[in-house]
Structure 1
Amino acid sequence: MQRKDHSLLSPSLGSFKTLTSFHFGQAGVGQKIYIQASLHAEELPGMLAAHHLLRLLEAADTQGAIKGEIIVVPVANPIGLAQRLDHRSMGRFELGTSENFNRNFPDLATAVLPAVRGKLGANPADNTRLIRAAAAQHIAQWQPQTELESQRKILTGLAFDADVVLDLHCDFEAAVHLYTETPCWPVIEPLSHLLQAKAVLLALDSGGLSFDEAMSGPWWRLAKALEAEVPAGAIAQACASVTVELRGEGDVTHDLAKSDAQALFGYLQHLGVVAGTPPALPAAACEATPLAGSQTVNAPVPGVVAFAALPGQHLRVGDLVAEIIDPIQNTVYAARSEVDGVLFARICKRYVTAGEKLGNIAGKTPFRTGNLLGA
């Protein structure tokens, strides 16, 4: 194992932060897998799971069982981790700009298209090398102007040429669920079995250039942009990326983290990047559904929230999700499911103002368009 410390741009005199990555195996040999945790810095289950995964990988490394390259970044957002306001962690948005830490990663497809146009042939492996070389050159020339931009550059530089990217997050209160782009699903599906995900949300460009889609998106985007110039299949989906939501913010225990780390390790064995007999895949706990079919349950009125449905619970149209009580007017508003599906996430606070989100239900029929991600 090799540890590398990457310095961020200093935002102020006498102040600087460091992002640390742990490297296993040999670069350029076999597959490259990139795993990071807590890009939203207050989402800690992934950070603890990464801690336990590192122990498993260290043991495998000692035994010579690493057959590719694995990079783990257990703390992907040192900026957000240091942000506090009124004694509360503020790790989702950068306080100086209000930008979401998991948005606005570079559009590598647009950046490299001029450099690769006219140079790609019929061989997918050769094309992958050319595209990755162009992306590497673009990232090397990127001159960040802020601490936040420098963090994005470091993360992008570590992951852009990975075959598989796992971005570990969590929700407020939730069952395990995954977000991935539709072309990535065949590679990601075994992970959903091992983690026993209760919902898998598929989309093609959900909007906002989140980290995972910034890694997998360039491949299908380039294939689409150059479909008239290169043979079908000549641009492979060379990166499969996924956002892994490890339950809720309060689900930070060694037992859960060890179980998640073991599932991640088993997935690495399934990919062949760690030697050994991979664990048998259990039956899937859900089927994949379109992100565009998920209902955001909103509260049109303010009040105290009393939930009737639990994360991971299957609901039918009309089932009660929560009641919102106004004790001044003595009224009760019933928020109900508008789709058949799984309540995969809900808020952790119990008072809402009008228009706030209560939770999300994974439905099977697409009905939403535009930007499919929240703030």
Structure 2
Amino acid sequence: MAKDLSWHVNGDAGNRLHIGAWRFDGDGSGPRVHLQAGVHADEIAGMLVLHQLLPRLQACQDQGRLRGTVTVVPQANPFGIGQFRQGRVLGRFHEATGQNFNRGFDQSLALQRPANNFAQWQKSLAQLALDADLMLDLHTDDEALPYLYIHRRFWPEQGLALAAALQAEVVIVWDEGGDGSFEETVINHGSPRLTATIELRGQADVSDALAKQDADGLWAWLCISGVIDEVADIAEWQGDVVDMGCMETILAPCAGVLVFEIGLGDYVEEGQRFARIIGRPGDPHSEVILHAAQTGRMVTGHRERLVAQGSVVAKFTGTRLSEGYNGGPLDP
């Protein structure tokens, strides 16, 4: 049986919060794997994927076909999952501190005695993954194609099979971080053979069918990685790879009604219009046209169709360094 590694932390109000975690031990001949979802608590798709994967791992262990060790944390963030406001979960930022839930893990890990419950949660979660050979952190974007973030040291040798197994349409390769994301912290404090952040499409893309497709992809990747004693075939990867600095992030120059004129995955030429914002509906002079900064492919779009000034409208691939890129992550 899987070993229950679940633990509790105290919430912001002193309430007891639960984090479910399980470890499946194989015969020791395969790598150690850490899989988690929901660090951003409003990104649900990965939670369902890991929920579907757990019984398959249990059956594999029972049948003696598990070679590696797999740790699974399906809903990693008990703070964010409780931040319901007016019918919506606000799971990207910690309300009490304003901190992005996926930032500052390295600082919390370095603390001998974390000063608050939030930092203690970050430290405990990071410690669980530090001995992993392979670590995957499951996220989603607003509306998006399936894509991966991966450090250059892992691309393409270790990461290509993962991209193919998950049918990722885009791989974004990064070199520098400095924000203490979970992935970066595991790289800096562990000795992984591969870490990656997987963006499982958009926040609304939660269904049994999509979860099964993604769980099947993870299963195939676990097989070809020597974790499971099973033969799996994956198709050749046909997606796009782009350096993070070449990604174009388009911000809303004004508030208003957002109207996309192309769809996710479409290609654009430099200067091509792809959306407009209607600042004052009823006034045709209030329409602002948005144009592509360079030739590329639309990877993400803003989920809400009423945007605030400065909101991320869309992200595109590119082939040259973006004029707006200043280093670090794409999103705050």
Q: TM-score, normalised by structure 1?
A: 0.82
Counterpart residue number, 1:146: 116
Counterpart residue number, 1:97: 97
Report deviation, 1:321. Answer: 2.1
Aligned pairs (5 A) from 1:150-229: 150-185=120-155, 186-218=157-189
Distance 1:38 1:27, change over 3 A: farther
Report deviation, 1:218. Answer: 4.4
Instruction: Count the aligned residue pairs.
Output: 326
Report deviation, 1:254. Answer: 0.1
Query: Is 1:295 equivalent to 2:248 in the alignment?
Result: yes
Distance 1:105 1:301, change over 3 A: same
Once superposed, what is the RMSD of the aligned Cα atoms?
A: 1.9
- CA separation in 2, counterparts of 1:206 and 1:289? 16
Pick from 336, 345, 350 the counterpart of residue 291 of structure 2. 336
| Residue range with higher mean Cα deviation, 180-189 or 44-53 | 180-189
SS of 1:100 mapped into structure 2: coil
CA contact (8 A) 2:300 2:316 kept: yes
Return 5+ residue gaps in structure 2 as ranges.
Answer: none
CA contact (8 A) 2:278 2:288 kept: yes
Counterpart residue number, 1:374: 331
Counterpart residue number, 2:229: 275
Counterpart residue number, 2:202: 248
- CA separation in 1, counterparts of 2:112 and 2:267? 46
CA contact (8 A) 2:254 2:308 kept: yes
Q: TM-score, normalised by structure 2?
A: 0.92
User: Which one-letter code corresponds to 1:167 in the other structure?
Assistant: D
The structure carrying a bigger helix percent of its residues is 1
SS of 1:106 mapped into structure 2: helix
Aligned identity (percent) is 30
CA contact (8 A) 1:34 1:162 kept: yes
Counterpart residue number, 1:8: 9
SS of 2:105 mapped into structure 1: coil
CA contact (8 A) 1:208 1:373 kept: no
Pick from 301, 317, 326 the counterpart of residue 362 of structure 1. 317
SS of 1:191 mapped into structure 2: helix
SS of 2:16 mapped into structure 1: coil
